[in-house]
Amino acid sequence: MERAARDLRFCSYSGDRRTKLQTQIMEVRSAHHNERDEVLDLLSRWYGDRAFFERYNRLDPRFRDELCLVARDGGQLVSTVQIFDRAINLDRQAVPTGGIGSVFTLEEYRHKGVASALMRLAVDTMVREGFEVSLLFAERLTFYNMFGWREVERKFSILAAASSLDVADHFVIDSFEIERDLGEIAAMHRKYSGRFNVTAVRDDSAWRANLKFAGNQPLHPGEGSEEYFVVCRDGSRIAAYARVTRFHGVSMVMEYGYLPGGVEVDAMLATFKYLGQSASGLPVTVRTTGDHRRASLLHSSSKPAEPSVLVTHTAHDPRLEKALGDAGCPVAHHVDNNYMWRVLAPDKLARRFAMAPAAASAHAFEIFADSRSVFWTADRF
């Protein structure tokens, strides 16, 4: 299939921004395979962390060059946008979703229409490639509003008293081992996360890749990207799990799950208690086994003695929130609106939901905004 491409007529101005000096044609297109390193060099000027972006480009099995969009001005790449190929649960259907991330433009090319041209190309590319909805995370809401994305409120949960949860004492917290535990964890993810709208769908290859790049760039270099993955054992079986990283300076439980049933929520509480005690620097009273050196991720590398609360998502799971409150850890919510969605293919959604296209689009946004939906931080791009 021929790649989408377009030209952008780029005007340079003198210092007073009134006298036009020259007009030149800039390429705006999908990246060529031999430009992958050049894209990473460009992105490394953002955070100074080339390895972070390389994890996605090298390890994501669904990464492909036609989804990496670039603007080239003569001899250099000056802007880029990446489309992340994902699928999410919508009404128990796996819906192709284009995630927008790695959006970066050199400072001297900002406010000149370069990023706008790439965003228009991104929409065209996602429609051509069969994506039905799109998700991005942003602070420049009005910029992305211009291209059809709409912000949706979601709730983060703050567990300030997790360390003092009143829980059963027979659970054991173990460290995750991929070859030993992944099959059991993936099945639990399907049973737990699969019940909720907007969660990402993962096959085995997606799981293995996700374990290598989960989370996102932290506020402080070195305080994130790696994850601390624990499982809670009830005898020989895994009854719950949690994935934690340092995210924007806080301890983020970026995904968890537990077995359905009457008492299994207790295993989730024991897991949160262990993480709360570790984050707060308190003596750990929950039984442990395995290698837990990565528990240090629960602390600030610059202020290791500073206690840390746990931040996660619980609003989608009222049963868990009630159990947390009953066990001594009431949940506080923080509302965030840098969570933005766009419907790309209303006709396809109409067929999925058996309703008119406008109604299908409205229904999709009802799902996105529903507090019972959850997009795990572990799937963020």
Give the tens place of pLDDT for each residue, 6-32: 656 554 433 343 333 334 578 999 999
- Position 14 in a domain: yes
Q: Which of 1 and 119 is assigned the larger pLDDT?
A: 119
In 3D space, the residue among 150, 147, 85 whose CA is nearest the CA of residue 118 turns out to be 147
In 3D space, the residue among 156, 129, 118, 80 whose CA is nearest the CA of residue 377 turns out to be 156
Query: How far, in Å, CA of 298 to CA of 309, rounded?
Result: 9
Please check the confidence at residue 167 and state whether its pLDDT lies above 60: yes
Task: Provide long-range contacts, Cβ within 8 A and 24+ apart, for 81-84.
Answer: 81/115, 81/118, 81/119, 81/121, 81/122, 82/56, 82/381, 83/122, 83/125, 83/126, 83/129, 83/131, 84/56, 84/60, 84/381
Distances (CA, A) of 141 to 134, 178, 338: 15, 38, 7
pLDDT at 308: 75
The domain tally of the chain equals 2
Give residue for tokens 């949706």: 152
Count the residues in the chain.
Answer: 381
Mean pLDDT in residue range 257-269: 88
Asked which of 15-24, 45-54, 302-311, 363-372 is least confident by mean pLDDT, the reply is: 15-24
Indicate which CATH number applies to the domain containing 284: 3.40.630.30
Q: What is the mean pLDDT of the chain?
A: 90
Query: How far, in Å, CA of 119 to CA of 100, rounded?
Result: 9
**Chain segment 219-234, per-residue pLDDT in tens:** 455 455 578 999 999 9
Please give the share of the chain, as a percent, with pLDDT higher than 90. 75
> Do 263 and 168 share a structural domain?
yes
> Do 308 and 166 share a structural domain?
yes
- Position 347 in a domain: no
**Chain segment 265-274, per-residue pLDDT in tens:** 999 999 999 9
> Do 168 and 111 share a structural domain?
no
> Do 328 and 192 share a structural domain?
yes
> Do 322 and 183 share a structural domain?
yes
Which of 131, 149, 173 terminates a domain? The answer is 131
pLDDT at 298: 86
Query: How far, in Å, CA of 80 to CA of 121, rounded?
Result: 11
pLDDT at 225: 59
Query: How far, in Å, CA of 292 to CA of 294, rounded?
Result: 5
Please check the confidence at residue 154 and state whether its pLDDT lies above 90: yes
Contacts of 129 (CB under 8 A, 6+ apart): 66, 67, 83, 85, 98
Q: Which of 307 and 54 is assigned the larger pLDDT?
A: 54
Please check the confidence at residue 202 and state whether its pLDDT lies above 90: yes
pTM, two decimals, is 0.91
Please check the confidence at residue 2 and state whether its pLDDT lies above 50: no
Query: If you write DSSP's letter for every residue of 65-98 in order, what string do you get?
Result: GGGEEEEEETTEEEEEEEEEEEEEEETTEEEEEE
pLDDT at 304: 60
> Do 125 and 166 share a structural domain?
no
> Do 167 and 80 share a structural domain?
no
- Position 287 in a domain: yes
> Do 119 and 161 share a structural domain?
no
Please check the confidence at residue 332 and state whether its pLDDT lies above 80: yes
Domain range spanning residue 42? 5-131
Please check the confidence at residue 203 and state whether its pLDDT lies above 90: yes
> Do 291 and 195 share a structural domain?
yes
In 3D space, the residue among 161, 176, 378, 177 whose CA is nearest the CA of residue 279 turns out to be 161
pLDDT at 15: 39
